[in-house]
Amino acid sequence: MQTLKIYTENKIGVLEKVTTVFTRNRVNITTLNLRANALKDLSLICVSADISPELALKVIPQLKRIIEVADAKLKAESKL
Amino acid sequence: MPGKLAAPQKAASPTAKSTCTGAEAVMRSLVAEGVDTIFGYPGGAIMPIYDALYDFNHKVNHILVRHEQGATHAAEGYARASGKVGVVFATSGPGATNLITGLADALMDSVPMVCVVGQVSSGLLGTDAFQEANIMSVCAAVTKWNYQVTDADEVADAMAKAFFIARSGKPGPVVIEVTKDAQFAELKKSFNYTPVIELPYYKKEPGFTRKKLQQAATLLNQAQRPLILAGNGVGIAGAEAALLALAEKTGTPVACTLHGLSCIATSHPLYVGMLGMHGNYAPNLLTNQADVLLAIGMRFDDRVTGNLNFYAKQAKVIHIEIDPSELNKVVKADVPLLGDALTILEQLTPLLHTYSHTEWLVEFAKLDAQEEEKVRRKALYPAKVKLTMPEVIRVLGEQTNGEAMVIADVGQHQMMAARYYPFQKHKSYFTSGGLGTMGFALPAALGAKTGAPDREVVAVIGDGCFQMTIQELATIAQYKVPVKVVVLNNNFLGMVRQWQNMFFDGRYSFVKMENPDFAEISRAFGINALRVEKREELPGAIQQMLHSEKPFLLNVLVENEENVFPMMPTGAAVDGMLLE
Ligand SMILES: Cc1ncc(C[n+]2csc(CCOP(=O)(O)OP(=O)(O)O)c2C)c(N)n1
Ligand SMILES: [Mg+2]
């Protein structure tokens, strides 16, 4: 089980842009939590999925490519 | 087309009053960005913007295409030829869905583009209103950024951000959707356009350290068999001269990807050919002999690497790349250098020793001689009765002195143009490389000629591809854009036929085409054309086409079942390339 912490701008449609990356990499999300203003004006999206660490690491740069994403990390190493 | 909302009063000329509607704000933003050309197609949900355009006609040249896909490819051609952002207008619903292929194409090939699309009024969103489609969702996977504007006061900022994102970092397509009520509404504040130069969470140029630069220099200074792999990023960064300076100082051979073509003259002694599936024999084979690969603005596409398990395992890899997500995605970089290719090359070259790799270059020459003997000579000077694609490209190359801008479509003709056109000038080969979009070339050539009117622009198109966007002949005729079109007509979906021939036991499944006479069709569109069948007709026909000051088309009937060689079959390694 891997958990990713994704910090994003608090805007309409950002969650969809984030989940598209998981869909594209055939990742089935098992837990998803979104909290607006978790870190100043940023939202925090926590996504868990039953995937390998390698796949999680492959997904992260693709998440960071989304303009509204400020940061994306594996939970263990998360700090912002 | 009638919308469900009654239209407010017509917007007056922007100079006549101090107020400004959302639609006018779109136009004023474009002018502020220095946009001179728009490719577009009107419809109900974008009518206020088209009405505002009416007043800006003297400042901005709008080209009415015949299909929105054509607008996107024209904008791509314009962007790649001019170095500016391509701009597209389309209406909501079907207008916007028709953009999808071009958006995906621009995303894959890193082409800067801003598409302004209409949308139903915000009160109707989510009601399945006439021509409402959820374009923000549809576009999410094929754009670098997209944004919906429902407030006229937001137009200028959204446009400024769109242009910044489209052109900075790794360029790409952006969609700005403006609801009809936001187009009609008067701004509450006065119009103010502030160009965006940075965004809080977006790094347009990720940094590289001095240490990494030094590591790259050490690797290159110690290398005995270095090879430069030049990709799309070289041209995008305008780093052609910097690349040449590095290559010449260090005596390093340069191979190009499909998109890297023409960043160095094919006649340069250090140029060793094209990489990839139908590239040249020497650079592909010797990729697996090199000790250091200097990859610049290329992303190790599977068409370049072949079987990754056998790709350059012996080599140290230096990867110059602006997009962090490309690093270590496919091939692990020993030294990653994140940033703009021009900046990095200019800082790297002074750290490098002057060198010449004579013996290493001889190895390229030896393998190249095999390709010349087994493939090229026969292809360029065929003994066949019918004309062949390579010889048409050869004659075109001779008559244009290798100085034309070649816009190729997708298929065998694309590979033949890439392999056999003798590029002498930078920014001279544009094609749909990443997505492989049939139908790209005709509209892209229209856009390229508009963006670079001083260049001789020649589209090389297959008979299959031509019929995907053939309607843009009308646009070319209406705007008198003097592009030259060479249809290499083999009456086959040739590239698919080649695969069926080689890997599916010759079972030709739906690849044969009975075509109309494209020269007749072209003339009906008002574009002069010739049908060319015989070898002796070819030079005269090409000359007539090139001398024409108007658009001109050649329907060249070529050998029906010629295959492109060399070839790296699927699953083969770069050194498993077949010469025949
Ligand atoms: C839109 C689209 N549909 C299908 C394909 C698959 N495809 C790739 S090349 C090709 C044949 C192209 O035929 P033609 O334009 O005649 O070029 P030729 O290979 O004969 O030179 C096809 C069907 C594609 N690349 N793009
Ligand atoms: Mg064909």
B396-451 per-position pLDDT tens digit: 999 999 999 999 999 999 999 999 999 999 999 999 999 999 999 999 999 999 99
Distance from CA of B49 to the nearest CA of A (A): 24
Instruction: Transcribe B237-267 into DSSP letters.
Output: HT-HHHHHHHHHHHT--EEE-TTTTTSS-TT
Q: How far apart are CA B48 and CA B418, in angstroms?
A: 43
- Give the residue on B whose Cα is nearest the Cα of A8: B201
Q: B123, B109, B124: which is closest to B75 by C-alpha?
A: B109
B141 touches chain A (CB under 8 A): yes
- What are the residue boundaries of the structural domains of chain B, listed by start? 14-184, 210-363, 385-557
Architecture (CATH level 2) of domain B385-557 = 3-Layer(aba) Sandwich (3.40)
pLDDT of res. B202 = 86
- Phi, psi at A47, each rounded to 5°: -125, 125
Record: contact A17-B140, CB cut-off 8 A? yes
ipTM above 0.85, yes or no: yes
Q: Pocket residues for ligand 1 (CB within 6 Å)?
A: B 409-413, 436-438, 462-465, 488, 490, 492-496
pLDDT of res. B18 = 65
Q: How far apart are CA B352 and CA B528, in angstroms?
A: 53
Which residue's CA is the closest to the ligand 1 atom numbered 23?
A: B493
Q: Which residues of chain A have pLDDT under 50?
A: 78-80
Record: contact B325-A62, CB cut-off 8 A? yes
pLDDT of res. B207 = 82
Determine if the peptide bond prior to B482 is cis (ω within 30°). Answer: no
- Give the residue on A whose Cα is nearest the Cα of B148: A12
Q: How far apart are CA A43 and CA A5, in angstroms?
A: 10
Q: How far apart are the first and last CA of chain B?
A: 57
Is B303 within 8 Å of B574 (Cβ atoms)?
no
Residues of B in contact with A70 (CB under 8 A): 200-201
B12 touches chain A (CB under 8 A): no
Select from B416, B461, B495, B508 the residue to mutate for testing ligand 1; criterion: most ligand atoms less than 8 Å from CB: B495
Distance from CA of A62 to the nearest CA of B (A): 6
E strand or H helix that includes residue B38: strand B37-40
The CATH number of B210-363 is 3.40.50.1220
Give me ligand 1 centre to Cα B242, in Å.
36
Domains of chain A: 2-75 (3.30.70.260)
Q: Which of A16, A65, A67 sits opposite B325 (nearest CB)?
A: A65
Give me ligand 2 centre to Cα B470, in Å.
14
pLDDT of res. A10 = 96
Q: Is B411 left (phi over 0), alpha (psi -120 to 50) or beta?
A: left
B198 touches chain A (CB under 8 A): no
A14 touches chain B (CB under 8 A): no
pLDDT of res. B6 = 45
Record: contact B141-A65, CB cut-off 8 A? no
**What would the two tokens of residue B545 be?**
């086409």
Give me ligand 2 centre to Cα B205, in Å.
41
Which amino acid, one-letter code, is at B184?
F
**Quick count: other Cβ atoms within 10 Å of Cβ B174?**
29
A15 touches chain B (CB under 8 A): no
Beta strand B552-557 pairing with B528-532:
parallel
Residues of B in contact with A71 (CB under 8 A): 201
Q: How far apart are CA A65 and CA B144, in angstroms?
A: 8
B11-38 pLDDT, tens digit per residue, is 444 444 568 999 999 999 999 999 999 9
pLDDT of res. B17 = 53
Fold of B14-184: Rossmann fold (3.40.50)
Record: contact B201-A17, CB cut-off 8 A? no
Q: Which residues of chain B have pLDDT under 50?
A: 1-16
3-state secondary structure of B176: strand
A76 touches chain B (CB under 8 A): no
